[in-house]
Structure 1
Amino acid sequence: MNYQEELNRQLAGEGIEIRGAVRPEWTTILTPDAVRFVATLTRRFNPTRKELLALREARQARLDAGENPDFLPETRAIREGDWQIAPYPPDLADRRVEITGPVERKMVINALNSGAKVFMADFEDANAPTWENCVQGQLNLYDAVRRTIEYASPDGKQYRLNDQTAVLCVRPRGWHLPEKHLWVDGEPAPGALMDFGLYFYHNAHELIRRGTGPYFYLPKLESHLEARLWNEVFLFAQEQLGVPRGTIRATVLIENILAAFECEEILYELREHSAGLNSGRWDYLFSVIRKFRTREDIVLPDRATLTMTVPFMKAYSELVVQSCHKRGIHAIGGMSAYIPRRDDPEANAAAIAQVVADKQREVSEGYDGTWVAHPGLVPVVLEVFNAHMPTPNQLHVKPSRAIAAQELLNFPHGDITERGMRTNINVSLRYLDGWLRGTGAVAINYLMEDAATVEISRSQLWQWIRRGARLTDGRAVTPELFEQMLAEELESIRASYGDAAAQSRLDAAAAILRQVVLSEPFVDFITLVAYEYID
């Protein structure tokens, strides 16, 4: 039987079309009613989504003309008002270590078994959104919610869930990303609504029955109006499926500099459904370059130097904690992407020491939890938070220092090095190669990289070329220098790749990178370009 044809036959005349293959096992997820639910969400909320994306463009035009972001005068009453987030559910009280990763089957099992308090299953930056990854990922989570998920590796090793597992949260795609395999009324459905809709439709009641709930992470928000749209989606979805209002909980990633100016407003819009805010380094830095693309005076140095202790990043980090605790909800710190290694104990010890120092900084700033990408870091980071946070969270810690808008805009100058430039090129090529293979979380140099890494890397290259930046050795960063280094890095990677398919992928990766680095104007998201290369 052709399951795709059968599903489209059942949906005939309804303006819904599945344009991807449907495996027999996927019929559990792609039921006619589940797909109709996504279509209903799309019809109701896609017009507003499009309006909000147009507002992003209008805001960008004002920034391009020289406007600086500021705390919004029209929402002063919200910032100064006396309100609190609805009480958090019991299983989200303690979030001291959260693990993140793609929705690949073995990863889901290992993450849930890792000893972390929460697992964020990612349809976004750690997932290459092939049709297979998105639908199989839904099936993996469907089985995980019901505790029936198992996996047998090629070497015969069996994976299944422990008795004690992490609380599951799901990150759908951002508002800007389409799903080209599901069309509604003649256009692709929003990826965000497909990811959210299928997961919520199939699992909300089962999660509640098991004493937890449908919990989410919301990426790439740029304003409180975008949070308001998510809140409207939540209210409607709960009503449609008979789920009590306020059951959904969502943590918003503050990974865009414009969103940082609206932390409290974002919490306010989601106050019935909020689970707090999270800070994210690479995407935040990427947003600085993206939003201030026309500013001649803003040229960020090597990204390795832009740590969370740099003043403008520290101010942003403080603001996230302050906003959350003022309103009675969790602040979650950033990602530690390090992958523990057994081959070099000395290098491993040095890297672990860096991880520990970074997590000590977070817990001392008042964060209630933090992220890791590898199960091997869970005990390391748990030890830090256990030592410094004896309570389930630190909501009683209420920093109140007034943070001025200018602190968030105090961008540093610094060294731009050949090594930094080559690293940005090399990591981008390696990551894009993985992405084109359908892998959204790629291990590179003992770091688990996702799409945020390639976004900051390629945007730095773009900015350095546009600004005529100079390397520490005096050379100007030009298109010609970029092409020279691109060719050299490509050659060094090719040496470790054998088959023709791999060589072809590398060529495609180089083409994508060249396009976004040399383009004028700036390309907003590399994932939109790369999405055209995957099925």
Structure 2
Amino acid sequence: MRADRHHRQDTREDEVMETYPQALLDAEQLATLTDLERALREPRAALLRGRKEQSRRVRGGAELQTRPETAALRADDTWQVRRPPADLTHRRVELATAATAEQAKGALASGADVWVADLEDMLVPTSRRLIAAQEVILEVAGTRTGDPDPGVPTLMVRPRGLHLDEAHLEVDGQPAGASLVDTVTFLARCGRLLLDRGTGPYLYLPKVESAAEAQWWDEALTAAEEALDLPAGCTRVSVLVETVQAAYELDEIVHALRERVTGLAAGRWDYIFSHLRTYGDRPDHVLPDRDAFTMNTRFLRTYTDLIVRTCHRRGVQAIGGPIALAASGPFDDSAAMTHARVHRDKAREAKQGFDGAWVLHPALVPVARQPFAERDRRRDGGEEVGPTPAAPDVDDAPDGQALRDVSAIPGASTLTGVRTAMRSSLTYLTGWLAGEGTVTIAGHVEDFGTVELARMQLWQWLSHGTRLAEGPTMSTLLLDRMLEDEVALLRRRGAREDLLEHAVRLLRDSVVADEPPAFLSQRAYDVLLGLGEAEDEQQETAGAA
């Protein structure tokens, strides 16, 4: 019934005959996707069960650690990854935006080296928007060439993560995995086209937590290439290192993908969210307001140093993470301050040894490029710039104590921080349910990754009864009073009442839960589907009347 209702909704609104991905794939391609889903479903489910089991162990007091059985692999300096293709050898600035026609236009004119067309945190996964996103990707793919051109970004696609489902495609009565649906749809439509134009299908893999998950991706891509008659190994990938668990298996992740991987990127906000999701119930891991985090705090500096070191050893490009600041007009004071902060952040990454960095707005591309260009100029002049690679330890294991050390983070938990987390979450969730994948709030670019962090901070402060800097103790009573204020404010600003009610329920339920949901995006997706069904029922009732 649900599939039929969504079918009618998309047909009415978009004048297409089928939903995502059926509207984009022919019968043979759809059969291929179905066969791959059947073959890869249980291995994916086992990986997700493994995540839950590991989470329970850590909550029970266990610590994350490297695997003794892979010590020899980590210590072995002789292996490196396959060389990157020509159009992925110069990645000073990568621009990540939602895969929409408007964002694609801005990205292609931005001067970035790579455009990351996002289907995950920045895009609301309705059938209509996913169809439109894949159409935009196909159009951009048709303009690509394999010749490195500083003025033309190389296309990369970020599919949704392993934990997400695609409700519009059921296989044997169960929803298909969203990551596989996004990836196979992209490869089926664009893989051969990109190869014929001298480039290739390139992916950014999100939220990878282990070498086993990296191996799943490699096997999935190998199977998809064979089924779609694409050359073996033509799909090249970069990995977003945005989970605490991945930091303990970086060498193993790279090794599992050694014939495909071209880059590791530091997903800073998702990484902090992962830290809270992993250690949030420990009293000594209560974190202050989000604005207190700097990349020079010990646990974040250790994590990014580990990425750089691993990349340098294995022949992989190290890509710095985005700073969630929005660029305003070209001449006002706020824009100048934003540009200065972005420049400082990217100068730090260039000095640390990153090869390039992400930005989230086209206007920030030249700002982010300048520190890397200056470093390259100095290197060309014979200067020693950047860190000197250190000799590996016996097994080159990451420093677990340093990766967990949040003791020296400056700042405090404040009423302002609570209010900011509430306001940004409610504003974003209300907009997300209406179809907005990114929202600029108080000069910050918010997507689902930053909202996941905000709601986890609220949960942590409430769970531990944190005493805020102004004096009050975080409690359910204080939470509800502040929620009332924020809801009243959003109503005055014209928020749609039904969506606001859903946003409040999503946020509050995740904050007051004894055990918070691993990903709020999963619950929000269920609400999104329900909204589509409710609209269909209203239309049916109106038609019958």
Do both share a fold (TM > 0.5)?
Answer: yes
The one-letter code sitting in structure 2 at the alignment partner of 1:145 is A
Matched, 1:434 2:424: no
The one-letter code sitting in structure 2 at the alignment partner of 1:32 is A
**Distance in 1 separating the partners of 2:193 and 2:119:** 20
Aligned residue among 43, 46, 58 for 1:63? 58
Give structure 1 regions of 4+ aligned residues with deviation exceeding 3 angstroms.
Answer: 17-28, 394-398
The one-letter code sitting in structure 1 at the alignment partner of 2:218 is N
The one-letter code sitting in structure 1 at the alignment partner of 2:389 is P
**Distance in 1 separating the partners of 2:263 and 2:329:** 36
Matched, 1:136 2:135: no
Partner of 2:424, secondary structure, is helix
**Distance in 1 separating the partners of 2:140 and 2:335:** 32
1:332 is displaced (CA, Å) by 0.5
Matched, 1:400 2:390: yes
The corresponding residue for 2:455 is 458
Partner of 1:428, secondary structure, is helix
Partner of 2:170, secondary structure, is strand
Matched, 1:331 2:327: no
Change (3 A) 1:262 1:19: farther
Matched, 1:24 2:16: yes
Partner of 1:297, secondary structure, is helix
1:371 is displaced (CA, Å) by 0.7
- Is contact 2:119-2:160 (8 Å) kept? yes
The corresponding residue for 2:95 is 99
The corresponding residue for 1:490 is 487
The corresponding residue for 2:442 is 445
Superposed, 1:180-219 pairs within 5 Å as 180-219=167-206
**Distance in 2 separating the partners of 1:139 and 1:395:** 43
**Distance in 1 separating the partners of 2:103 and 2:206:** 21
Superposed, 1:346-357 pairs within 5 Å as 346-357=333-344
Return the TM-score normalized by structure 2: 0.88
**Distance in 2 separating the partners of 1:95 and 1:462:** 37
Superposed, 1:111-126 pairs within 5 Å as 111-126=107-122
Partner of 2:462, secondary structure, is helix
Superposed, 1:267-282 pairs within 5 Å as 267-282=254-269
Aligned residue among 411, 421, 425 for 2:406? 411
**Distance in 1 separating the partners of 2:9 and 2:262:** 34
- Is contact 1:322-1:398 (8 Å) kept? no
- Is contact 1:431-1:450 (8 Å) kept? yes
Matched, 1:244 2:238: no
Partner of 1:24, secondary structure, is coil
The corresponding residue for 2:210 is 223
Matched, 1:506 2:496: no
The one-letter code sitting in structure 1 at the alignment partner of 2:390 is S
The corresponding residue for 1:156 is none
1:250 is displaced (CA, Å) by 0.7
The corresponding residue for 1:384 is 371
**Distance in 2 separating the partners of 1:408 and 1:257:** 8
Superposed, 1:295-306 pairs within 5 Å as 295-306=282-293
**Distance in 2 separating the partners of 1:19 and 1:310:** 51
The corresponding residue for 2:532 is none
**Distance in 1 separating the partners of 2:279 and 2:400:** 15
Partner of 2:163, secondary structure, is coil
Partner of 1:168, secondary structure, is strand
Aligned residue among 235, 253, 265 for 1:266? 253
Change (3 A) 1:133 1:395: farther
**Unmatched 5+ stretches in structure 1:** 6-16, 149-161
The one-letter code sitting in structure 1 at the alignment partner of 2:196 is R
1:481 is displaced (CA, Å) by 0.7
**Distance in 1 separating the partners of 2:434 and 2:366:** 31
The one-letter code sitting in structure 1 at the alignment partner of 2:334 is A
Deviates more, 1:32-41 or 1:251-260: 32-41
Change (3 A) 1:423 1:37: same
The corresponding residue for 1:523 is 517
**Distance in 1 separating the partners of 2:388 and 2:255:** 18
1:343 is displaced (CA, Å) by 8.4
1:280 is displaced (CA, Å) by 1.1
Matched, 1:468 2:474: no
**Distance in 2 separating the partners of 1:93 and 1:504:** 48
Post-superposition CA distance 1:64-105 (Å, at most 9, x none): 110011222121111112210001101000000000011111
Partner of 2:488, secondary structure, is helix
1:56 is displaced (CA, Å) by 0.7
Change (3 A) 1:20 1:197: farther
- Is contact 2:93-2:112 (8 Å) kept? yes
**Distance in 2 separating the partners of 1:399 and 1:317:** 14
Post-superposition CA distance 1:342-367 (Å, at most 9, x none): 28722221221111000000011111
Post-superposition CA distance 1:396-431 (Å, at most 9, x none): 966327652211011236511111111100000111
The one-letter code sitting in structure 1 at the alignment partner of 2:509 is Q
The one-letter code sitting in structure 2 at the alignment partner of 1:279 is A
**Distance in 2 separating the partners of 1:289 and 1:360:** 27
- Is contact 2:113-2:151 (8 Å) kept? no
1:30 is displaced (CA, Å) by 3.1
1:208 is displaced (CA, Å) by 0.6
The corresponding residue for 2:537 is none
- Is contact 1:84-1:327 (8 Å) kept? yes
- Is contact 2:236-2:261 (8 Å) kept? yes
The one-letter code sitting in structure 1 at the alignment partner of 2:476 is P
How many residue pairs end up in the alignment? Answer: 505
Change (3 A) 1:352 1:483: same
